[in-house]
Structure 1
Amino acid sequence: MPNSYIGSRGQRVVALGGGHGLYASLSALKILTRNITAIVTVADDGGSSGRLREELGVLPPGDLRMALSALCDDGEWGQTWRDVLQHRFSSEGPLNGHSLGNLLISGLWELLGDSMEGLDWVGRLLDTKGRVVPMATVPIDIEADIRTDEGMKTIYGQVSIAQSHADIESIRINPPYPPAEPEAIKALNDADWVIFGPGSWYTSVIPHLMVPDLRKAVVESQARKALVINLVADAETTTMTPADHVRSFHDHAPDLQLDAVIMDRSAECDWTDLSAAAQLCGAKVVAKNISDPHRRGCHDHLNLAAAYRQLFVDLS
């Protein structure tokens, strides 16, 4: 493994996920390094992102916007442009519910004709401490098989799955072989660390394992790899324990080995079962204080940064 810090920019870290979970992870990581690449899901089919995706045929920009906002500079310039990016219109007309950042990103894509170039321009505007790339070059759709009293049933779409409160057995993506973003593959090849989660399990974390070329790059990467378990169950994981999350990860990518499974020290769970599940992936459980005591179910980015820092030192 490389030294703990490379030059003045820090370790090369790739974080995979989407939404608020990835936002928390990136907010922590940018304290430690400027060598961050966020690989972001492109499955959102609801709200402003879903409308722009349907109307313009673009990648859903919302999760990409969130990742850019998380990586923005902490000074007045970066924070102001972050707030501009996150601003959401409220009106009686067609702009209602649209995020200004989603419109800006979509406009740049239309103007430049290149998704990565557009995202990089927004990154320059925010002076981001890292880079944001989509996991695939085309939008994807997710479908999930769920267990019901009447037997197995299939539900379709990110929004439907995210709100399902269902017992999810497995997921698939369409198209089944989307082209991975080349910059994502390059980042994984060059990484010192690859971090999955936290985030919506079946719509933000697991989909990265469903893009064949992306999964291959993760498996073959010489980087250390960690999985951050969510603090509380959500509508996608109402019946799942932390150990179930790890087993699900292993089921969807049995050839992917992890080095660490990070869990909040105060979590009420079967730690023995969690350790057994982690061993399936070749990982050890790392228990740290990573939750925000004032906001249930939310990570404290300073605590999470301290956990990452210690992990980088211990396993370098």
Structure 2
Amino acid sequence: MSIFTGQLPLVPPSGGSGSQQDAGPSVVALGGGHGLSATLGALRLLTPSLTAVVTVADDGGSSGRLRRDFGVLPPGDLRMALAALCDDTDWGRTWRDVMQHRFRGRPGGSGALDEHAMGNLLIITLWELLGNPVDGLKWAGALLGARGQVLPMSTVPLTIEGEARSIGEDGLVRTRMIRGQAECAVAGELENVRLLPQDAPACAEALSAVELADWVVLGPGSWYTSVLPHLLLPELRSALANTPARRVLAMNLMTETKETQGMSASDHLRVLREYAPEVGFDVVIADPGSVGDRDEFVAEAGRLGAEVHLARLRSRGSAAVHDTLRLATAYHEVFNGK
């Protein structure tokens, strides 16, 4: 019988990272939330050499509560990335469901665990035991049999801040300051978006992964709160601009969301060029039904240095959800120059 001493060894047991025989291209996927989960679900079918770099600016729900109460990185998007990489076995599927399980008390009750995700609690437990967010995520990945690794984009919690425009009854345009990911996500079209603290460090392991990758994939996801933040963090933006890897931008299926009101697909590309003109892309992947003015979209992609790869990506069950196999096929075609 072994007895837990209160400390974990520095190196976790190896997870489901594949062998040399089934090695594919080294791919780094950047984003957060459901968009990153969609990308990881597709990419894990193509390569075991997969790294997720995840936004850490969430301040709502369970993540926001844990961030405020414990002073930790918000774990929710990191948890979702780990769940998306779970091995497709009974073990992996069971642990995926455990990680995503939310506690809900009796009707009318207000327990301390209400709406917390089990995976969030597991992650911050590992962080407290190990004292290192990257090591904690490695242990969580090993437990789940994750096909790849998950890293935070920064080692400190970040805050998104921006200005939202609105037109008053008098017809005048006014701006108001918005702070926090939860508020920015529903604010409408944003301007002057920035991350706080402005000198926040990028995760060193994430920078190394970007430098050594064969391919870097950005998007899909909430444009201002999951995609753009990777280009706002100075060290990460520099790494993306200078990596020898080829860069792919995956577009959203829906352009009109609560944070991108009135924006076309071409407008989404202009936003990235406005905030990070030094970061180019080689390929932009999009569903034809999401593009609108195709000539304008192709021209705007060209200003990013990218060719456009159009492919049917929508799930048959929902126009707003990527089909995993269709998305994986699109990435496979891009990676192989088809």
TM-score by length of 1: 0.96
Matching of residue 277 in structure 1 with residue 300 in structure 2: yes
Q: Which residue of 2 aligns with 1:60?
A: 74
Matches within 5 A, 1:201-220: 201-220=223-242
Secondary structure of 1:298's aligned partner: strand
C-alpha distance in structure 2 between counterparts of 1:118 and 1:242, whole Å: 37
Q: CA offset at residue 289 of structure 1?
A: 0.9
Picking from 178, 191, 194, the partner of 2:213 is: 191
Matching of residue 18 in structure 1 with residue 32 in structure 2: yes
Matching of residue 96 in structure 1 with residue 110 in structure 2: no
Q: Does structure 1 retain, via aligned residues, the 8 Å contact 2:184–2:259?
A: yes
Matching of residue 243 in structure 1 with residue 261 in structure 2: no
Bigger Rg, structure 1 or 2: 2
Matching of residue 79 in structure 1 with residue 93 in structure 2: yes
Matching of residue 48 in structure 1 with residue 62 in structure 2: yes
Q: Which amino acid aligns with 2:38?
A: A
Q: Which residue of 2 aligns with 1:267?
A: 290
Q: Does structure 1 retain, via aligned residues, the 8 Å contact 2:195–2:229?
A: yes
Residues 85-134 of structure 1, C-alpha deviation per residue, up to 9 Å, x if partnerless?
Answer: 00000012111010000000011101111101110001001111100000
Matches within 5 A, 1:248-259: 248-259=271-282
Give the paired residue count: 309
Q: CA offset at residue 147 of structure 1?
A: 1.8
Secondary structure of 2:35's aligned partner: helix
Structure 2: 5+ residue runs without aligned partners? 1-19, 168-172
Picking from 162, 173, 177, the partner of 2:195 is: 173
Matching of residue 148 in structure 1 with residue 171 in structure 2: no
Q: Does structure 1 retain, via aligned residues, the 8 Å contact 2:241–2:278?
A: yes
Identity %: 50
Secondary structure of 1:256's aligned partner: coil
Secondary structure of 1:314's aligned partner: coil
Q: Which residue of 1 aligns with 2:3?
A: none
C-alpha distance in structure 2 between counterparts of 1:268 and 1:188, whole Å: 28
C-alpha distance in structure 1 between counterparts of 2:32 and 2:192, whole Å: 19
Q: CA offset at residue 269 of structure 1?
A: 0.5
Tell me which moved more, 86-95 or 304-313. Answer: 86-95
Q: Does structure 1 retain, via aligned residues, the 8 Å contact 2:265–2:290?
A: no
C-alpha distance in structure 1 between counterparts of 2:38 and 2:223, whole Å: 15
C-alpha distance in structure 1 between counterparts of 2:294 and 2:191, whole Å: 23
Q: CA offset at residue 268 of structure 1?
A: 5.4
Q: CA offset at residue 257 of structure 1?
A: 1.0
Structure 1: 5+ residue runs without aligned partners? 1-5
C-alpha distance in structure 2 between counterparts of 1:167 and 1:57, whole Å: 30
Secondary structure of 2:321's aligned partner: coil
Secondary structure of 2:162's aligned partner: strand
Q: CA offset at residue 8 of structure 1?
A: 2.0
Matching of residue 231 in structure 1 with residue 249 in structure 2: no
C-alpha distance in structure 2 between counterparts of 1:267 and 1:194, whole Å: 22
Q: Which residue of 2 aligns with 1:3?
A: none
